[in-house]
Amino acid sequence: MKDDRDVDPTLSIFEKILHLRRGRPGRAPTAVSAGQLSVLADEMRERAFQAGSVLMREGEAPVAAYSLVRGRVRVSRRGQVLGEVGPGAAVGIGAILSRDGLGLGAVATTDVLALELDREILVDIFEDLFPLLLDAIKDSARRHLDFIRRMKHVPTLLPAIHPEPSLLDRLDFVERLLLLKTPGGPFERSSIDALAEVAQRARYRSLEPGTTLWHEGERAGSACLIVSGSIACSSSRDDGPVQFSAGRGMAIGALESIAGQPRWHDAVATAHAEVLEHDVDDLIDVFEDNVEMAMDFLAWVSSDALKLIETHFGPGPELLDFFIGSSG
């Protein structure tokens, strides 16, 4: 059953902007201006759904997201109900940003008024307004990190690529390009010109055993792609310390640097290690000039978070948070 319809506009642009702002409780301040946000708000259509109407079906990649103004929606995934959400929830946004093809189920449990944002329109807005795209990247990185920090044990599920062993000791410019373009990584589909910018700005570092990359709580501004060796990571938390090892192909430091948060763990080389270090500001500059690369990176971070949640947490509040654009 699907009973939805356009309705005569009842919300002004100003009210839509306020609604979108209210949908960010507890999140980091955004650099997106009201004028830029108004472009997004202007493209959102008011839609009304009667109780029992289907907003989304499992097994179908969502073609739109719905920011709930009034009413409640039941959300499911793989046949299991994740919960109900109400005003402020952006149903389906996580699936769109991660390019998830499995989708989710969303059924109105009461009469609903929602603001609909078409997926293709969102892509067009990201292409035209980089601050909105950057805000989405930063928020996805923050939420990914938040999910990692909820885990009692950090598994080997941090964002990673898997370079071929033959690349390990060859770090000339061409090999850096090949490393960055490794299948499964965020830049697999990126243009050579864009990758060349990233490779040129990267710093190669050879670390002796015991070398400290950073300490927990320090300001974060760079990320390291581990080319060889391993890095011991440890984090102090209220529920007890966490220790894990990051090895070849793993990226450490990226999430907190992009999200603008402090280092969340110590990082010390346990054996001879080689890393490519990138300043996040440099990476963002490249993203601004290469929007497709930036959108691929956003999808990669989001899909990696989805994989982590489904593997570690399973169906539950964390997965619900992911699909409605919330955490905590």
Instruction: Give 205-230 pLDDT, tens digit per residue.
Output: 999 999 999 999 999 999 998 888 99
Q: Is 285 helix (H, G, I), strand (E, B) or coil?
A: helix
pLDDT of residue 30: 58
As its CATH architecture, domain 143-320 has Sandwich (2.60)
- What's the first-to-final CA gap in the chain, in angstroms? 32
Q: Which of 43, 190, 16, 63 is nearest to 128 (CA)?
A: 43
Q: How confident is the model at residue 80 (pLDDT cuts 50, 70, 90)?
A: very high
Instruction: Give 29-43 pLDDT, tens digit per residue.
Output: 456 677 888 888 889
Instruction: Give 249-303 pLDDT, tens digit per residue.
Output: 788 999 999 999 999 999 999 989 989 899 999 999 999 999 999 999 999 999 9
pLDDT of residue 155: 52
CATH class belonging to 4-128: mainly beta
Residues of the chain with CATH 2.60.120.10: 4-128, 143-320
Q: How confident is the model at residue 200 (pLDDT cuts 50, 70, 90)?
A: confident
Q: What is the mean pLDDT of the chain?
A: 85
Which are the contacts of 53, defined by CB distance < 8 A and separation ≥ 6? 1, 2, 3, 4, 107, 108, 112
Q: Which of 263, 258, 257 is nearest to 234 (CA)?
A: 263
HSE, CB side, 13 Å, CA atoms: give it for residue 169.
1
Q: How confident is the model at residue 1 (pLDDT cuts 50, 70, 90)?
A: very low
